[in-house]
Chain A
Amino acid sequence: MTRLLALTRAGLRSNFGLSVLRHRLFVVKKDRWLAVLIGAAALGVLPSVYGLILLVQNIYLALKPLGQEHALLTLGVLGGQLFILLFGLYYVISAFYFSRDLEFLIPLPLKPWEVMASKFAVILVNEYLTVMIIVLPVLVGYGVIAKSPFAYWVNGVLVYLFLPVIPLALVSLLVVALMRVVNIGRKKDALILIGSVLLIAVSMGLQYVMGRSSRGEVSGQAMTKFFTSPDSLLNIVGSRFPPSIWASKAIAGGFSASGLLNLALFAGTSLLLFAAILVLAEKLFYRGLVGLSEVSGRRRTLSKAQMSQRVSSGRHAVRAVFAREWRIMNRTPIFLLNGILVVLVVPVVFVLMAKAGSGRGDAGSLLKLMTSANPLFTILAAAAFMVVCGSLNGTSSSTFSREGTQFWISRVIPVSAREQVAAKFLHSYLVSVLGTATASAIAVWLLRLGIMPLLAAAGLSLVAGLFLTSLGMMIDLARPLLDWTNPQKAIKQNLNVLLATFADVGVLTALFFVVRFMVGAKVAAGVVLVLLYLGLAAASAAAYAALVRFAERRYREIEV
């Protein structure tokens, strides 16, 4: 037990970089601005949380007269658990199989279940923080407005502590089984990729089914039906996934017999599933893990002709760096999943979401209806869609971080920062262009966009993409995350990617207000478009120039 605790403590410290953070904040006194930034971001989230609590209270007031207020708790718990079920996959795969500390842990006198339990605990803590935004407003909002007794809060805390266990255990069972199958043969990377895409497809299918059940209706009547009708999503899912019902009964029931019984059921099931994965870990974990990172290569000597063919005759430095970026991004499964696959998959997700409803509730029809009043709005809506699909991925905002400890090579080669940045810019921008292309195809299909509006929208998205690519790269360059041991950290858990997404959303919001102002001032649609084009083009040129200047300075400053 002591070993398990020590292992978990070390895992938590390493995962959250606690020791490094303490060293940087209090010993070296570097990065203090980061603490301020995180504080500001946390404060920024508060209004949204408050808004959610108000929403919860409104729903509560609507449900109370029907005696269905407990459904709200079920919804909160279910929401959190589904979120973990759908998105926990990346965490679980990377923590169980791709964190580099495993290389040190396997030879230690530890049992496979101990290693897995410690990893599980680390993900658990991560999930407490992640689902906080979904679940806490419901628990707190409900508790406050219902003037719930002490027992409600005690059971609420206990349910919250057990909440991620069931979905995480289910995902873990799936992943451990998958990796046992994947860890054979030579094409492991391909199998990991196919497995991940399949799991994404399953989660998208789930969203599709959920979307169909909700039919996109938002009227009060529909809301009531949603919560009370016996065939509503909530009750269907709730009845097929009883833990969420137990959890809500446990919280609402307090210390009554029903409350305690349901709490025991919820906690008992969680512990049982947790025990199941530990048993499975003992049997399958190391068999899926050991040798996973091994890549076998067939030894074959190239003939003189083959060698001559493969040795390049001298590419320009920008082309050479571009080829490096392209190959590394597309050959690292985690990078590929978050780069090109995102720009290909996200537009499809949008289609599924929009098509999920049927008839007039269809989000696509709604969008058409909203934008048909003014062709300018059609173009802008389509352009916004293309920008979101093309530029809101982590390619540009992780371009320096992805190099990791190999950044030393970029620092010693005789290629100027200007040229290296140009190659990286072209690579990130190409991904954004791909996204715009997929989104264009979808816009034509979904919104029946004509050729002229399509060209106008795609053009706008491409110009905006120039600006957002430079912006993302600058954010990453300001503080590149180079000391990662797990590629997941460079892109999926990279603060720069999150900051860049916020910045992109900020830019789009600012543009929205600019357009609203111009439309309000009765500026002609054509003029609005031209001004947007010119404005974005000028901003892109300025941003790129700033990026190059910044890179020339940062390439000298960043020490590796």
Chain B
Amino acid sequence: MIELNHVSKSYNKGKVKAVDDLTLTVRPGEIFGFLGPNGAGKTTTIKMIVGLLRPDAGTITVDGLDIEKDALKCKAITTYVPDYPNVYERLTGLEFLNFIGDVYGVPKAERLDRIGKWLDIFELSGAVANPIQSYSHGMKQKIVLTAALLPAPRVMVLDEPLVGLDPRAAHSLKELMREHCGQGKTLFFSTHIMEVAEKLCDRIGIIDKGRLVACGTMEELKALDRTQQSLEAIFLELTEK
């Protein structure tokens, strides 16, 4: 579970409000889609959840643990996939996965099982012994996803995870997201692809200019305006200039 309670974050000494008094709960077993125009505050919110940015105000808890006070415990149950797969290019794919397995304390038997499974699904088995430097953008994205899945985390936070993936890998990822939440775990992800959000998410939050302008199931969002049928239309309406 992820809980954001009156969280704010600004830049330039308060001149630019990136996130403004955001309160939000993502329940266990739920896929939560986070939508918003460019610069709306999605990545800032995500970075605050995983501890890369510090909120100016408010609190964030992951499975009841405060991300400031119990930072290490939170990190041990959360994994994160950034919007750009910026990883250690000089390591091989397997060395990177080993590093992640080591720091998250994944036992060898589970490590072997999971690495084998995800590499097969993402069709990376042939490249895992090569330096990440030799990977394409999509392959880097896949190795980061594999690394994020390796510790079998209770909470996954993904920033635009489908960008750069081929249709087969995107399909596999959506299945994995479902499977992850089917086990009662939590998944929070941002996306610009309305169809994906509409079909995949249990609940959706729309953020605009740092403020949460709508949040709920697809049905609840549609109920906001009876004339609007698609999520895209609702999104455009809510985030109008």
Number of interface residues of B (CB under 8 A): 50
Query: Are the C-beta atoms of A296 and B134 separated by less than 8 Å?
Result: yes
In whole angstroms, how far apart are the Cα atoms of A78 and B160 in the complex? 57
In whole angstroms, how far apart are the Cα atoms of A307 and B98 in the complex? 11
Of A28, A308, A331, the contact of B12 (CB 8 Å cutoff): A28
Chain A 377-420, CB-CB to B under 8 Å as 1, else 0, gives 00000000000000000000000000001101101111110000
Which residue of the partner chain B has the closest CB to A405?
B86
CB of B69 to closest CB in A, whole Å: 11
Chain B residues within an 8 Å CB radius of A319: 102
Contacting A at CB under 8 A, from B111-142, are 111-112, 115-116, 125-131, 133-134
18 A-B pairs besides A314-B105, A409-B88, A412-B51 with CB distance below 8 A are A297-B134, A299-B126, A310-B129, A314-B102, A316-B102, A317-B102, A317-B103, A327-B91, A328-B90, A406-B87, A411-B52, A413-B100, A414-B103, A415-B72, A415-B103, A559-B47, A559-B52, A559-B54
Query: Are the C-beta atoms of B99 and A320 separated by less than 8 Å?
Result: yes
In whole angstroms, how far apart are the Cα atoms of A315 and B106 in the complex? 10
Query: Are the C-beta atoms of B75 and A314 separated by less than 8 Å?
Result: no
In whole angstroms, how far apart are the Cα atoms of A317 and B176 in the complex? 28
Chain A residues within an 8 Å CB radius of B13: 28-29
In whole angstroms, how far apart are the Cα atoms of A556 and B72 in the complex? 11
Query: Are the C-beta atoms of B75 and A331 separated by less than 8 Å?
Result: no
Cβ of A524 within 8 Å of any chain B Cβ, yes or no, is: no
Cβ of A332 within 8 Å of any chain B Cβ, yes or no, is: yes
Query: Are the C-beta atoms of A301 and B72 separated by less than 8 Å?
Result: no
Cβ of A447 within 8 Å of any chain B Cβ, yes or no, is: no
Of B12, B75, B99, the contact of A414 (CB 8 Å cutoff): B75
Chain A residues within an 8 Å CB radius of B88: 324, 328, 406, 409
In whole angstroms, how far apart are the Cα atoms of A307 and B112 in the complex? 8
Query: Are the C-beta atoms of B112 and A412 separated by less than 8 Å?
Result: no
Cβ of B94 within 8 Å of any chain A Cβ, yes or no, is: yes
Cβ of A522 within 8 Å of any chain B Cβ, yes or no, is: no
Cβ of A221 within 8 Å of any chain B Cβ, yes or no, is: no
Which residue of the partner chain B has the closest CB to A315?
B102
Contacting B at CB under 8 A, from A322-354, are 323-324, 327-328, 331-332
Number of interface residues of A (CB under 8 A): 46
Which residue of the partner chain A has the closest CB to B147?
A409
Query: Are the C-beta atoms of A302 and B76 separated by less than 8 Å?
Result: no
CB of A510 to closest CB in B, whole Å: 37
Which of B50, B51, B79, B88: most chain A CB closer than 10 A?
Answer: B88
Query: Are the C-beta atoms of B82 and A408 separated by less than 8 Å?
Result: yes
| Contact status of A300 and B129, CB under 8 A, knowing A332-B90, A413-B104, A414-B76 | yes
Chain B residues within an 8 Å CB radius of A198: none
CB of B100 to closest CB in A, whole Å: 8
Chain A residues within an 8 Å CB radius of B29: none
Chain A residues within an 8 Å CB radius of B111: 311-312, 314
| Contact status of A412 and B50, CB under 8 A, knowing A311-B94, A311-B101, A327-B90 | yes
Chain B residues within an 8 Å CB radius of A240: none
Chain A 12-38, CB-CB to B under 8 Å as 1, else 0, gives 000000000000000111000000000
Of A311, A317, A324, A409, the contact of B115 (CB 8 Å cutoff): A311
Contacting A at CB under 8 A, from B27-86, are 47, 50-54, 68, 71-73, 75-76, 78-80, 82, 86
Of A29, A295, A307, A314, the contact of B134 (CB 8 Å cutoff): A295
In whole angstroms, how far apart are the Cα atoms of A28 and B78 in the complex? 33
Cβ of A321 within 8 Å of any chain B Cβ, yes or no, is: yes
Which of B76, B129, B130: most chain A CB closer than 10 A?
Answer: B129
Query: Are the C-beta atoms of A413 and B103 separated by less than 8 Å?
Result: yes
Query: Are the C-beta atoms of B130 and A297 separated by less than 8 Å?
Result: yes
Chain A residues within an 8 Å CB radius of B105: 314
Cβ of B198 within 8 Å of any chain A Cβ, yes or no, is: no
| Contact status of A314 and B101, CB under 8 A, knowing A295-B131, A406-B87, A413-B75 | yes
Chain B residues within an 8 Å CB radius of A299: 126-127, 130
Query: Are the C-beta atoms of A321 and B103 separated by less than 8 Å?
Result: yes
Query: Are the C-beta atoms of A311 and B98 separated by less than 8 Å?
Result: yes
| Contact status of A556 and B54, CB under 8 A, knowing A307-B115, A307-B116, A314-B101 | yes
In whole angstroms, how far apart are the Cα atoms of A308 and B115 in the complex? 11
In whole angstroms, how far apart are the Cα atoms of A451 and B57 in the complex? 62
Query: Are the C-beta atoms of A313 and B90 separated by less than 8 Å?
Result: no
